[in-house]
């Protein structure tokens, strides 16, 4: 008889967050400006100044698809690590945590160095970098705890 496995709150939270981020990037790849009124405003809020100089509206769809795919894989790997972990799922989840921690840390370092106060940088300080650091910590919690418990 198979044992039922209940994922931890950290597993559920990180998996749902990464899946949501994946869906949002997929929507952008398909041309949706949501939650902004148009693509130019969206670009101001999700791209740094150097990227906006190159892509005044949004980058080519393949870039958003790449992020969507990476987040979808990350969600799947974390879900696996938090329910039926394998050596490869745990290594991949750890690699994802390192990438997210690096992205979050880069945002913090840029803040210390005094970046411009445009919409992207304000959101990077308030949302994007802290979210990356929180997701990295969440993945670490999943990996540290085993991420699940057997029910029944």
Domain ranges for the chain, please list them. Answer: 4-151
DSSP 48-60: -HHHHHH-SS---
pLDDT of residue 97 exceeding 70, the answer is yes
Which pLDDT score is estimated for 1? 54
For residues 83-101, one letter each, b for 16 or more C-beta atoms within 10 angstroms of the residue's C-beta and e for the rest, the string is: bebeeebbebbbebbebbb
- pLDDT tens digits for 31-77? 999 999 999 999 999 998 889 899 989 999 999 999 999 999 999 99
Of 149, 151, 131, 145, nearest to 14 by C-alpha is 131
pLDDT digits (tens, 9 = 90+) for 105-120: 998 888 777 666 789 9
| pLDDT score for 113 | 72
The per-residue pLDDT for 117 is 76
Tokens of 123: 């959101």
**Confidence band of 2 (pLDDT split at 50, 70, 90):** low
Measured CA to CA, the distance from residue 107 to residue 138 in angstroms comes to 18
Residue 150 has pLDDT above 60, yes or no: no
Is residue 141 pLDDT above 60, yes or no?
yes
């Amino acid at each position: 008889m198979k044992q039922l496995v209940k994922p931890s709150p950290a597993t559920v939270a990180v998996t749902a967050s990464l899946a949501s981020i994946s869906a949002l990037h997929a929507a952008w790849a398909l041309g949706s400006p949501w939650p902004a009124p148009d693509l130019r405003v969206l670009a101001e809020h999700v791209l740094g100044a150097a990227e906006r100089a190159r892509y005044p509206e949004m980058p080519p769809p393949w870039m958003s698809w790449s992020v969507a795919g990476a987040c979808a894989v990350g969600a799947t790997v974390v879900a696996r690590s938090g329910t039926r972990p394998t050596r490869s799922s745990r290594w991949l989840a750890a690699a994802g945590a390192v990438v997210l921690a690096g992205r979050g840390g880069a945002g913090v370092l840029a803040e210390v160095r005094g970046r411009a106060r445009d919409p992207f940088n304000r959101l990077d300080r308030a949302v994007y970098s802290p979210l990356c650091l929180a997701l990295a910590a969440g993945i670490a919690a999943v990996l540290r705890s085993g991420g699940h418990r057997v029910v029944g």
